[in-house]
Structure 1
Amino acid sequence: MLNALRFIGWPLLVGILVALLLIQRYPQLVGGAAESYTLERAPQAIATTPGPNSYAAAVSGAAPAVANLYTTKVVEKPQQQPLTKDPVFQRFFSDSLPRQRRMESSLGSAVIMSPEGYLLTNNHVTANSEQIVVALRDGRETLARVIGSDPETDLAVLKIDLAELPVIKVGHSDSIRVGDVALAIGNPFGVGQTVTMGIISATGRNQLGLNTYEDFIQTDAAINRGNSGGALVDANGSLIGINTAIISESGGSQGIGFAIPVKLALEVMTSIIQHGQVIRGWLGVEVQSLTQELAESFGQEGRPGIVVAGVYRDGPAERAGLQPGDLILSIDGEQASDGRSSMNQVARTRPGDKIDIDILRNGKPLTFTAEVGMRPPVAATTPKPPKPE
């Protein structure tokens, strides 16, 4: 009897284990509910519309209106002599040290915007330049003069006097989509006009620390030194942005480039041509975002707002009655969600106009009316890198 149990025991045990595994894997065999999942399947394509196998038509329409820039500036540096390196000598005679003057040249690009000869480029390309040479694709060269610049958006407007200028077709930067084809046209490294292709990687990029007013188009089209001020165009050859900056550890293109949307560039250009400068509204406040800690201290968890960190003396905000520590809830009916958006809203307001500012002070809601002033000009200094130039 014992031998018989041993003879059938192992096969029986193996059978039970197999049955348990089958039940666990296929519960529907014993009436259990099977695991279910849903897949979203793409419709079967009956006919496809292939993309263009060439962007030559777009390039031929846009490229003639992209010019190469060659700028020169005088740079003064103290002459390096053994005695001048002495810290004591530098302390007492630094102002009277002999200085060496030399010419420094740089490369860039510009876009011909109108037959009257107005060009758009970057401020950091032309800032402090002694001479700006514009070289057109058709072989003509001429000197350009700076009509005006706006360091806060890193844009500059140039003027040249040539006949029969090729003009770029202006596109719609506010209707582009992530994934759209983008072409960058410029003069990288001075090799001559070059076209690179990529896609729109993102829109509305800000808080990069490049400019005061940031609303960048991000693209992976290769942008390198010399591309600054050149054109970013769509698949039809229409201008959608002015190539401006890159993020790179090596100094070369790593697929993260930024362009100023043409809509913003045109606003700046129009203001410079009409007024000689960009006129922006100004409140005279420094603000910061409402962090979770600050929201808890204000008792405003989950509610948007910006905190007044500082008020300029005798500025529009101080005259209206705002104080440091006030929590701004809305400006002229628009919710104050973050400091950059709210200050951009004020900048778009015409100086002299009045706006209502809803705040919270010591838990009490208040409303002030401020007369928007004109933003003081900013010194035309070269913006911080990363810039492809």
Structure 2
Amino acid sequence: MNGSSRWLGAQGSVEARTPGNESNLPSDVVDGLPAVVGLHTTIPETRRSVQHLGSEREGHGVVIDDEGLIVTIGYLITEADTITIKDGDGQEYPATLVGYDYESGFGLVRATVAPPVKPMPFGDSDQLLLRSEAYVAGVGGEKATLKVKVAGRREFAGYWEYLLDNAIFTVPAYPLWGGSALMGLDGTLLGIGSLLVQEALGPGSPAFPGNMYVPINRLKPIFRELVEKGRLSTPPRPWLGLYTIEHMGQLVVGGIFDGGPADRAGLKRGDFLQALDGEVLDDVADFYRKLWASGPAGTPVTLRMERDNDSFEVTVRTGDRSSYHKYGSG
């Protein structure tokens, strides 16, 4: 999930657009570029997410109001102790966590002093269809901007217990994807960069690298509550603390969160997942849907597993992913 650039490199050392193409950006896109800022976080070595995401993370965010509110991708700020924003002129601003929605992947932070830039308005990400044109931008202005096309709108199942309906896949690949802005031709914000993917054209298509963007329309219905409360008031989904991958038509435990529900229940990397509460699992997305339909966080589920050619069942008391991570000092 690490989609960041080097902190100094985020100032535009990567020439993302074709030479000689600098003057071809729509004026609305050019006007919106200063709203894209760099983001740097530090995470204490004792925090659980360091094992998978590192103790320093770098990427981007987008200023979306006049008071320094910034939207980014959540994994950049998970368990962050310090958050620093850098604008296109190199000015740095401390920032604080506002909210994180684990289900969508959006994170919000606020700079203690609002950067002197025009906020980027939300657009309508539903208007992005197959082959639609858009622009991807990181901090650094025009030279850090790339013209892209939509390679697909489809479901995305992430191995970290994450499922996103109608994700946006773009090509060509943007190298500094984490928290980058997907902009419409009118300069509005249509998505936030989440991943580099190798099959941007879809399953069964030739490998072609691209990026996955979380549609901004996914943020709109939860935005106000996330700003006011930091998280949603709906019951949290049940969480196992597994990395799940598909291999040769089977679901395999690819990793386990230390101290998480699956770890406490004795599951191991390399175990095969066969069924949940007696229902056979078809694929990763089907696994997540069945898990989340079992009840709120804390609901026990029974998994049928296979290890060393032996099948067995284990009951796991699910947890709340947000309570697993720690924020703030200490």
Change (3 A) 1:70 1:147: same
The total of aligned residue pairs comes to 229
Alpha-carbon displacement from aligned partner over 1:241-270 (angstroms, at most 9, x marks no partner): 001111249xxx963210000011233432
Structure 1 residues 381 and 174: CA distance shift in structure 2, 3 A: farther
SS in 2 for 1:162: coil
Q: Distance in 2 between matches of 1:203 and 1:283?
A: 25
Give distance in 2, aligned partners of 1:105 and 1:238. Answer: 30
Letter in 2 for 1:153: S
For 1:203, what is the secondary structure of its paired residue?
strand
Structure with the bigger RCO (C-alpha within 8 Å, sep 6+) is 2
CA distance in structure 2 between the aligned counterparts of 1:172 and 1:343, rounded to whole angstroms: 31
Equivalent residue, structure 2, for 1:242: 192
Cα distance, 1:233 vs structure 2:
0.8
* 1:30-83 residue CA offsets vs partner (Å, 9 max, x unmatched): xxxxxxxxxxxxxxxxxxxxxxx8224133122111100122233369xxxxxx
Give 2:125's aligned residue. Answer: 173
Counterpart for residue 277 of structure 1: 231
- Once the two structures are superposed, residues 195-252 of structure 1 have per-residue CA deviations (whole angstroms, 9 ceiling, x without a partner) of 111101111332243552313110014322x431121012222111001111249xxx
Q: 1:142 is paired with a residue of what secondary structure?
A: strand
Taking a change above 3 Å as real, the CA distance of residues 59 and 377 of structure 1, as seen in their structure-2 partners, is same
- Deviation digits for residues 143-165 of structure 1, max 9, x if unmatched? 00001212333221101133544
Name the SS for the 1:144 alignment partner.
strand
Rounded to whole Å, the distance in 1 between the matches of 2:143 and 2:92 is: 14
Which aligned pairs between 1:1-389 and structure 2 lie closer than 5 A?
A: 54-75=24-45, 104-163=55-114, 164-187=116-139, 194-209=144-159, 212-215=162-165, 216-224=167-175, 226-248=176-198, 255-280=209-234, 309-310=276-277, 376=320, 378-379=322-323
Letter in 1 for 2:179: G
Q: Structure 1 stretches of 5 or more lacking a match?
A: 1-52, 78-102, 287-307, 311-323, 326-337, 352-374, 383-389
Q: Does the 8 Å contact 2:61/2:71 carry over to 1? A: yes
3-state secondary structure, aligned to 1:269: helix
Q: Residues of 2 paired with 1:71 and 1:223: CA distance?
A: 21
Q: Secondary structure at the match of 1:223?
A: coil
Q: Distance in 2 between matches of 1:161 and 1:283?
A: 32
Is the contact made by 1:68 and 1:110 (CA closer than 8 Å) also made in structure 2? Answer: yes
CA RMSD for the aligned pairs?
Answer: 4.0
Q: What SS does structure 2 have at the residue aligned with 1:207?
A: strand
- In structure 2, relative to structure 1, the CA distance for the partners of 1:222 and 1:275 (3 Å cut) is same
Change over 3 Å in CA distance of 1:146–1:138 after alignment to 2: same
**Residue equivalent to 2:6:** none
What CA distance in whole angstroms lies between the structure 2 residues aligned with 1:175 and 1:120?
A: 20
- Structure 1 or 2: larger strand share? 2
- Partner-residue secondary structure (3-state), 1:273: helix
Kindly tell me: are residues 127 and 191 of structure 1, through their superposed partners in 2, closer, same or farther at Cα, counting changes over 3 Å?
farther
Aligned counterparts of 1:227 and 1:379: Cα–Cα separation in 2: 28
Percent identity, please. Answer: 19
**Alpha-carbon deviation of 1:126?**
1.5
Distance 2:81 2:238 in 1: 34
Letter in 2 for 1:378: S
The amino acid across from 2:42 in the alignment is T
Equivalent-residue separation in structure 2 for 1:73 and 1:282 (angstroms) = 24
The one-letter code of the counterpart of 2:196 is: I
Aligned to 1:45: none
Q: Which one-letter code corresponds to 2:40 in the other structure? A: Y
Give 1 or 2 for the bigger CA radius of gyration.
Answer: 1
CA distance in 1, matches of 2:71, 2:119: 12
**Closer, same or farther in 2 for the Cα pair 1:145/1:248, shift >3 Å?**
same
**1:345 CA drift (Å):** 10
Change in CA separation of 1:273 and 1:285 when aligned onto 2, cut-off 3 Å: closer
